[in-house]
Amino acid sequence: MPIELKIPNIGESISEVQIAEWLKADGDEVKKDENIAMIDSEKTTLELPSPESGRLKILHPAGDTVKIGEIVARIETNGAPGKSKTGEAETAKAESGKRKAETESKRPEKKEPPKKVTEPQKEKSPKPENEQPEQEPEAVEQKPGVQEAKTEREVSPPPAAKTIVGREEEVIPMTMLRRTAAKRLVEAKQQMAMLTTFNEVDMSVARALREANQEAFQERYQVKLGFMSFFVKAVIDALKQFPQLNAEIRGNDVVYRNYFDIGVAIASGRGLVVPVLRSAERMSFAEIERAIADFARRAKDGKLKPDELEGGTFTLTNGGVFGSLLSTPIVNPPQTGILGMHAIQERPIALQGQVVIHPMMFLALTYDHRIVDGREAVLFLRRVKEAVENPARMLIEV
């Protein structure tokens, strides 16, 4: 009896998904709970497990867009195990080759046509020297070269067509996640009055604090102490001082929040995703690092849940992990701000009248100028800078 494989409900706002990839071929034997397909929604990529063991019958190929609840495959559970589509194709190919060999063996042998003997191959009796000048005009009258050209055409294959190498094109459909991200980024540019302000932060104290506590921190919490937890804490400290960057516009109203759901941008194999740290103000350094590590791992495996990507009141993105020195991030609507972190570089700076070399990082704050004025944006970024350069001030809230 066939079991229907339907697209499950993966979120209130999601009505359709795209079949990104079938992990099994049509006709393959699958086991219960074995992942057989990857599906893309507008927010994340998810795995689709088999409801039962049996033979897979695919109804929609990879690349199709299907509705929630639509049947995309069937699992035949009571049929005898059969060959997969690949196996059947190989068997058919072998049988076809066998039949062709048998047919050719029964055909009568073709006799080869007698070979043409060209004029130069004929044996000629020796002639006196005085007769040779008389034969040369005869050869001219018989159109010399005609026979040779004919023989050359019969033996040589036609010249191959010339092809240009290195100018091929490959057309690959955009994933639903990529299409949705592209659409929202364009909408953000069209609907917001975005502006970016910059600053730089001295990472000396944060780096020393991290190195001094790394071993004990990792032994106790089984996760490394990174810089992201420093910035999450510093951003929350600044958002408390400048709530416009933790708000959103709804129609003609401004909605201020007293909670801090911080989105952290993570690069996955299928695109950028932004899982959210809920109530991050209540989280410790260890809880933040554990949550981010878990997000990164599940983003790579396509196991993030749609509700983990919804909401968010402010976003952090770290292009520095890829070597970016400076960039202008785009705000994720309906949020009003995003902080871009960048690569840490040893640079000379002036400190107390002397030139010293310190580990420095450029910061970029992009904000919605409709609700955030330049003054608040600049002071917010300066507050983040001061908090990272002196983490102790966050503990005493000064």
Q: Which residues are catalytic?
A: 369, 373
Token pair 């599940």 is at which residue? 298
How many whole angstroms separate alpha carbon 291 and alpha carbon 228?
11
Contact indicator for 394, 216 with CB cutoff of 8 Å = no
Neighbour-count burial of 292, counting CB atoms closer than 10 A to its CB (0-12 exposed, 13-18 middle, 19+ buried)? buried
Residue type, 44: T
Residue 212: other Cβ atoms inside 10 A: 11
Token pair 């937890």 is at which residue? 229
How many whole angstroms separate alpha carbon 206 and alpha carbon 228?
11
How many whole angstroms separate alpha carbon 377 and alpha carbon 125?
108
Residues 6+ apart with CB under 8 A from 394: 233, 234, 237, 387
How many whole angstroms separate alpha carbon 118 and alpha carbon 210?
91
Cα–Cα–Cα angle for 256, 262, 266, nearest 5°?
Answer: 145
Residue type, 92: A
279 sits in the region (left: phi over 0; alpha: psi -120 to 50; else beta) called: left
CA 185 to chain centre: 17
